[in-house]
Amino acid sequence: VKRAKVSGRAETYQTQDFAIARAQFGMETMLRRAIEDRRLRLAYQPICDLATGRIVSFEALARWTDDEGWAHSPTDFIAVAEESGLIVPLGRWAIEEAAQTLARWDSAYGGPCGVKLAVNLSAIQLQRDAIAPVVEAALASTGLSGDRFTLELTESAIVTDPDRIAGTMHALKALGTTLAMDDFGTGYSNLAYLQKLPIDVLKIDRSFVTGMLADRDKVSIVRAILSLAQALGMKTTAEGVETNELAQTLAALGCTFGQGYFYARPLEADAAYAMIAPATMQEMVSA
């Protein structure tokens, strides 16, 4: 609750735990209303082919500015959403919103715009909701095909209820979607699940990428993940690609995709679309 605002002089006399609990409750109430009123937004960050630099997809990242103007960190409000159960409506909204955005991009483009959208699924959401029917309904209402979507799961989703998750993952694959393991390397250490589950992409956690050019241990970990993925027939995305040098190095190591501030920060939908839109007549004339 880094940015929760606690007001009133009495606060000074409350224990920190109480203040945190109260702030959290206030945040939950505001978040519930924001979800109901559809006042959350999605930001879109490009994921690029490291070899060519071409944008292959965008990751949809939830953004929330509350009634009082605070922009909350997703790490904070996703945690509150998970604790309160709000992750279920939030997660459904994210899938629907992403699908509507992609459908809008396609119609502006005059056909499939050539990129996928990646949506995050939380472990708690996967436990509590039936995700495949939600995705299926979003596809039906927009007319998009399942292969336009990637769903990002974390290792913690697999630890909690492996059988249920396996069922969900197979149902998502049957819809044609791509499945990515997010933040790979930071979670569960039993790797047996990697060969049992239909995972297409490993996303190498940012903590191994940041500073890897000056840290041989990090390079070793990245290499190990890349060869594991290759052996299992999976693609790889490096998170936290902040410099051209990192992009070059990761490409040379054989990593498939890169995502990070070097390419772009998470953007509003229109700005994201502008990165893939065909040049308009006007741009061509002024070029």
Q: How is residue 275 annotated by DSSP?
A: T
Closest C-alpha among 98, 105, 96, 101 to residue 129: 96
Q: Are 141 and 110 in contact (CB under 8 A)?
A: no
Residue 120 or 142 having the CB closest to Mg ion:
120
* Shortest Å, Cβ 258 to ligand C2E: 9
Tokens read off for 124: 């708690």
Tokens read off for 89: 């409506």
Residue 62 or 132 having the CB closest to ligand C2E:
62
* Shortest Å, Cβ 84 to Mg ion: 21
Closest C-alpha among 24, 94, 30 to residue 62: 94
Binding mask 142-181 for ligand C2E (x = CB under 6 A): ----------x-----------------------------
Q: Within a 13 Å sphere around the CA of 176, how many CA atoms are in the beta-carbon half?
A: 9
CA–CA distance, 211 with 219 (Å, rounded to integer): 9
Candidates 152, 199, 221, 263; binder of Mg ion (CB under 5 A) is 152
| 242 touches ligand C2E (CB under 6 A) | yes
* Shortest Å, Cβ 11 to ligand C2E: 27
Place of tokens 């708690």: 124
| 122 touches ligand C2E (CB under 6 A) | yes
| 106 touches Mg ion (CB under 5 A) | no
**168-197: which residues touch Mg ion (CB under 5 A)?**
182-183
* Shortest Å, Cβ 152 to ligand C2E: 6
Binding mask 25-54 for ligand C2E (x = CB under 6 A): --------------------x---------
Residues in Cβ contact with 177 at an 8 Å cutoff, skipping those fewer than 6 apart: 135, 146, 147, 149, 150, 151
Candidates 31, 94, 132, 272; binder of ligand C2E (CB under 6 A) is 94
Q: What are phi and psi of 218, to 5 degrees?
A: -65, -40
Closest C-alpha among 152, 75, 90 to residue 116: 152
Binding site for Mg ion (CB under 5 A): 120, 152, 182-183
Binding site for ligand C2E (CB under 6 A): 45, 61-62, 73-75, 78, 91, 94, 120-122, 152, 182-183, 206, 239-242, 259-261, 266
